């Protein structure tokens, strides 16, 4: 079983943390990843820095810029993944990337390098199912899950095509918009989760705009198998660029607060529960 | 060929959230293309409002000097001062047919922003224009023009703070406001169906030019020349000539020279990559990051180019050449004095190529240059570059 499948089989819901590789620089970025893991992140999503991140809001775009200014190349991202893999042998790692990074390297080489570094999945944010002819077989060849994205605007017909091709888990975009913190969640996450659930047995994780423990609670209540938190964590890095100890403290505190919301919602491991309820 | 593909180029490399909007756009475009009411209204706007058709001017003085027959297709005389309005009127009208209540656009030099502001004012749609912070300063006059026309100019402070970042910002706005907003993209770039829509709305340039030159000369021209930024004025004039025995030349921004990193010649010096929704030629580094570009003409200062041009380069149907800043500035001055027409610095690239290549044609040879815009917007810049000397 892959690390991703194994995680979702073992835990529900799971907490997915996002960081831009190399933000604010390579060494700090590795320490940030370790802090996130130590704080209890179940799956790490690592973004490959890209100069034109059209799906991202200003917070994550600034992280891309910091990482690029620190000289973070795709090679450096693979090196970081390798180090995280050594630190946390069982932790699922998903690379979050824009397609030209893959196209330029060559899809086969990209997925080979990702697999060699220890990544489990790749999410290509600007590669819709219609354009996946080259990436999909390359990912499969190297045993990398290609995490599919489904938006509230995705039609049922396209949803079916996307799910036919998906593996690992499915990333549900909670809202019409780019990444970034929001005061309020989109009201119909449960509807989206329910609709997608009908078409797949894969676990469903919800991301975009999830900024607080209250949001995490709402997403879990909507029936998701995982929550993805990005900008809210990236902000803690950005706000404490000159104070690394404070940065790690803030990350631990924030992740801890969100995890505490998750825990009571987790299915208790009580044998024979079915018979009690049924 | 797959839908939305030009050879291998083009496609729809976009976030999932935007796919529904692209599909809606494709369907609307198919519907309005067959709708006589749409054509009737667009024709009216182009003729009665924008001033089509534009003249095909025979240039007596230049022709005498160059020793061939030189015509200019006068998009500089279109309302707004550039070819951009052909596309903005078409797309703004299409937005109305789609029931959209708001237009957004990106702009570099400000010409497309101004043309969108004009179309929005004419058709009663509010307009927000994204413009790189660097460009709002470089092109302060156009920023003011847009505001005068009732548009809101939103400075973009991310990335390189130029055109490509303005496109990124417009896409982010679009993905957040899909129900109400049409993204009026300004060139034949981006994901399908934009390259097709923009080409079709700009093809009026070539259709007129072809008819005009046949009326005047009784035959087709030997060569048609146009500058290439994203490539919309070029594809507009080339399209109706593609199946003819006519040489087509696209002229890119050579900036400080192709042997330096300071240029915008994605076809002449770039490599294939995915950028802002399409597979095309791109100025990029070894990892696939778009490079910073340079041109004295802000409208050509962009790392990529429309996918149809990528195909036309590979098939060899169109030849792409580069002209340096210095050559373009010389042509700017030359055309002003020789014919009393001040060209946009973008269009001056096409003029410069014509000057360079006229020797290839004999006395009866016919050369058509697309004069995509007028140069008033550039006068202050050129004065500064030349230290105040005309
Ligand atoms: C007058 C003029 N010509 C040409 C261009 C380049 O655009 P395109 O290559 O799409 O025609 C611009 C862009 O701003 C322009 O203003």
Assess whether B175 and B322 both reside in one domain: no
pLDDT over 90 percentage in chain B? 91
Q: State the best of A176, A196, A207 to mutate against chain B, taking most chain B CBs within 10 Å.
A: A176
Q: CATH number for the domain including B241? A: 3.40.50.1100
Report whether pLDDT(B85) > 50. yes
Nearest CA in chain B to A130: B12
- In angstroms, what is the span from residue B229 Cα to ligand 1's centroid? 6
Residues B61 and B98 in one domain: no
Residues B256 and B376 in one domain: yes
- Tokens 């060559």 -> residue: A106
Express each pLDDT in B134-161 by its tens digit: 889 878 889 999 999 999 999 999 888 8
Q: Rg of the Cα trace of chain A? A: 18
Segment A99-125 shows an average pLDDT of 98
Q: Is position A64 within any domain?
A: yes
> Residue A175 falls within a domain, yes or no?
yes
Give the CB-side neighbour count of residue B233, counting CA atoms within 13 A. 32
B46 in contact with ligand 1, CB cutoff 6 A: no
**Helices B325-339, B345-357: inter-axial angle, 10-degree rounding:** 90
- A278 in any annotated domain: no
pLDDT at position A154 over 70: yes
| Average pLDDT estimate for A80-107 | 98
| CA-nearest residue, atom 7 of ligand 1 | B229
Using an 8 Å CB-CB cutoff, list chain A residues near B20: 151, 153-155, 158
Mean pLDDT of A47-68: 96
Predicted pLDDT of residue A272: 45
User: Which of A51, A101, A178 lies at the smallest CB-CB distance from B175?
Assistant: A178
Q: In terms of domains, do B207 and B356 share one?
A: yes
What lies within 8 Å, CB to CB, of B250 at 6+ separation is B226, B227, B228, B231, B234, B238, B267, B309, B312, B318, B319, B320, B321
Whether residues B172 and B289 share a domain: the answer is no
Specify which residues A227 forms β-bridges with: A15, A206
Reported as a single tens digit per residue, the pLDDT across B19-70 is 999 999 999 999 999 999 999 999 999 999 999 999 999 999 999 999 999 9
- Residue in A109, A39, A47, A41 with CA at minimum distance from that of residue A76: A47
Number of domains in chain B: 2
| Residue A268 belongs to a domain | no
**Distance, CA A224 to ligand 1 centroid (Å)?**
48
User: What are the pLDDT digits (tens) for B104-138?
Assistant: 999 988 999 999 999 999 999 999 999 999 889 87
- B208 shares its domain with B173: no
In a domain, B26, yes or no: yes
Q: Are residues B40 and B158 in the same domain?
A: yes
Q: In which domain, by residue range, is B183 found?
A: 5-46+84-198
Q: Is residue A54 part of a domain?
A: yes
| Structural domain count of chain A | 1
A42 labelled catalytic: no
Domain harbouring A21, CATH code:
3.20.20.70
Identify which of A7-11, A178-182, B299-303 has the greatest average pLDDT: A7-11
CB A44 within 8 A of CB A4: no
In a domain, B294, yes or no: yes
Residue A276 lies in a domain: no
Lowest mean pLDDT, pick from B221-225, B256-260, B374-378: B374-378
Query: Which of B140, B167, B198 is a domain's end point?
Result: B198
For residues B73 and B95, state if they share a domain. no
Interface contact B276, partner A, CB < 8 A: yes
Candidate from B107, B185, B227 with most ligand 1 atoms within 8 A of CB, to mutate: B227
A180 CB within 8 Å of a chain B CB: no
* B277 at interface of A, judged by CB pairs closer than 8 A: yes
* B33 and B175 both lie in a single domain: yes
B107 lines ligand 1 (CB under 6 A): no
Q: Of B198, B230, B246, which closes a domain?
A: B198
Instruction: Identify the band that residue B184 occupies on the pLDDT scale cut at 50, 70 and 90.
Output: very high
Does A278 have pLDDT greater than 60? no
**pLDDT, tens digit (0-9, with 9 covering 90-100), for A267-276:** 545 554 444 4
Mean pLDDT of A52-68: 95
Between the two ends of chain A, the Cα-to-Cα distance in Å is 30
| Residue A270 within a domain | no
Least confident of A51-65, B155-169, B178-192: B155-169
Domain-embedded: residue A221: yes
Query: Does the residue B390 lie in any domain?
Result: no
**Would you name the residues of B annotated as active-site residues?**
59, 83
Angle, helices A231-239 vs A58-69, to 10°: value is 50
Backbone phi and psi for residue B226, each to the nearest 5 degrees, phi listed first: -150, 150
| Statement to judge: residues B252 and B370 lie in one domain | yes
Pick the residue with more confidence: A108 or B298? Answer: A108
The answer, for A70 touching chain B at a CB cutoff of 8 Å, is no
Q: pLDDT averaged over chain A?
A: 93
Distance between CA atoms of residues B65 and B338, nearest Å: 9
Look at residues A61, A28, A128 and name the one whose alpha carbon lies nearest to residue B21. Answer: A128
Percent of chain B whose pLDDT exceeds 70: 99
| B137 CA: distance to closest CA in chain A (Å) | 22
Range of the domain at A143: 3-262
Average pLDDT over residues B187-191: 97
Is A265's pLDDT higher than 50?
Answer: no
Res A264: pLDDT: 60
- The beta-carbon neighbor of B175 closest among A53, A158, A176 is A176
A17-34 mean pLDDT: 98
The overall average pLDDT reported for chain B is 96
Q: Quick one: which of B200, B204, B223, B230 has its CA closest to B369? A: B223
Asked whether the predicted pLDDT for residue B303 surpasses 90, the reply is yes
For range A186-208, the mean pLDDT: 95
DSSP for residue B49: I
A239 upstream amide cis, omega within 30 of 0: no
pLDDT tens track for B314-338: 999 999 999 999 999 999 999 999 9
Of B369, B34, B83, B47, the closest CA to residue B201 belongs to: B83
Residue bearing tokens 């600007």 = A126
Q: Does A209 touch chain B (CB under 8 A)?
A: no
CA B372 to centroid of ligand 1, rounded, Å: 7
Among residues B147, B181, B198, the one where a domain terminates is B198
Residue A234 has pLDDT above 80, yes or no: yes
């Amino acid at each position: 079983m892959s690390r991703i499948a194994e995680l979702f089989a073992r835990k529900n819901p799971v907490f997915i943390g996002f960081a831009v590789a190399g933000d604010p620089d390579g060494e700090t970025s590795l320490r940030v990843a370790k802090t996130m893991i130590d704080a209890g992140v179940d799956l790490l999503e690592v973004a490959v820095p890209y100069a034109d991140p059209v799906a991202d809001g200003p917070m994550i775009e600034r992280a891309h810029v910091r990482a690029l200014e620190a000289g973070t190349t795709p090679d450096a991202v693979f090196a970081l993944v390798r180090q995280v893999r050594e630190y946390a042998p069982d932790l699922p790692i998903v690379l979050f990337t824009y397609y030209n990074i893959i196209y330029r390297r060559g899809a086969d080489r990209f997925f080979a390098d990702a697999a060699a570094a220890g990544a489990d999945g790749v999410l290509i944010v600007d590669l819709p199912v219609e354009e996946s002819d080259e990436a999909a077989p390359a990912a499969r060849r190297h045993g990398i899950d290609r995490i599919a994205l489904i938006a509230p605007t995705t039609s049922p017909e396209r949803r079916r095509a996307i799910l036919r091709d998906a593996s690992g888990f499915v990333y549900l975009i909670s809202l019409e918009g780019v990444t970034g913190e929001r005061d309020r969640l989109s009201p119909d996450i449960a509807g989206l989760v329910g609709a997608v659930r009908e078409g797949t047995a894969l676990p469903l994780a919800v991301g975009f705009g999830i900024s607080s423990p209250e949001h995490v609670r709402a997403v879990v209540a909507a029936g998701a198998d995982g929550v993805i938190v990005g900008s809210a964590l990236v902000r803690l890095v950005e706000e404490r660029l000159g104070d690394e100890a404070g940065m790690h403290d803030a990350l631990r505190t924030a992740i801890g607060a969100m995890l505490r919301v998750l825990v009571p919602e987790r299915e208790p491991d009580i044998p024979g529960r079915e018979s009690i309820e049924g | 060929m797959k839908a939305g593909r030009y050879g291998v180029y083009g496609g729809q490399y976009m976030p999932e959230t935007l796919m529904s909007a692209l599909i809606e756009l494709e369907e609307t475009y198919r519907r309005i293309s067959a709708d006589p009411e749409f054509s009737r209204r667009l024709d009216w706007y182009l003729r009665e409002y924008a001033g089509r058709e534009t003249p095909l001017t025979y240039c007596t003085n230049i022709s005498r000097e160059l020793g061939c027959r030189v015509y200019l297709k006068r998009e500089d005389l279109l309302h707004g001062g550039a070819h951009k309005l052909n596309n903005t009127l078409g797309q703004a009208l299409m937005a109305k047919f789609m029931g959209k209540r708001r237009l957004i656009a990106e702009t570099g030099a400000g010409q497309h922003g101004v043309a969108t502001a004009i179309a929005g004012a004419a058709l009663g749609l509010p307009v927000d224009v994204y413009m790189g912070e660097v460009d709002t300063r470089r092109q302060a006059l156009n920023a003011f023009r847009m505001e005068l026309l009732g548009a809101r100019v939103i400075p973009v402070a991310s990335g390189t703070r130029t055109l490509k970042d303005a496109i990124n910002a417009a896409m982010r706005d679009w993905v957040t406001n899909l129900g109400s907003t049409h993204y009026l993209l300004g060139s034949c770039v981006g994901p399908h169906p934009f390259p097709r829509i923009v080409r079709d709305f700009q093809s009026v340039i070539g259709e007129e030019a072809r008819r005009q030159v046949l009326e005047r000369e009784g035959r087709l021209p030997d060569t048609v020349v146009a500058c290439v930024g994203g490539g919309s004025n070029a594809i507009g004039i080339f399209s109706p000539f593609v199946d003819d025995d006519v040489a087509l030349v696209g002229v890119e921004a050579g900036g400080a020279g192709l042997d330096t990193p300071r240029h915008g010649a994605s076809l002449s010096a770039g490599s294939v990559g995915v950028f802002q929704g399409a597979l095309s030629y791109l100025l990029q580094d070894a990892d696939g990051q778009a490079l910073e570009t340079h041109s004295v003409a802000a409208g050509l200062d962009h790392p990529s180019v429309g996918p149809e041009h990528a195909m036309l380069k590979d098939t060899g149907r169109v030849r792409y050449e580069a002209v340096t800043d210095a050559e373009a500035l010389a042509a700017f001055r030359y055309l002003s004095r020789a014919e009393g027409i001040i060209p946009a610095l973008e269009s001056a690239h096409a003029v410069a190529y014509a000057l360079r290549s006229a020797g290839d044609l004999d006395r009866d040879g016919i050369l058509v240059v697309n004069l995509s815009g007028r140069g008033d917007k550039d006068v202050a810049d050129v004065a500064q570059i030349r230290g105040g000397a005309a």
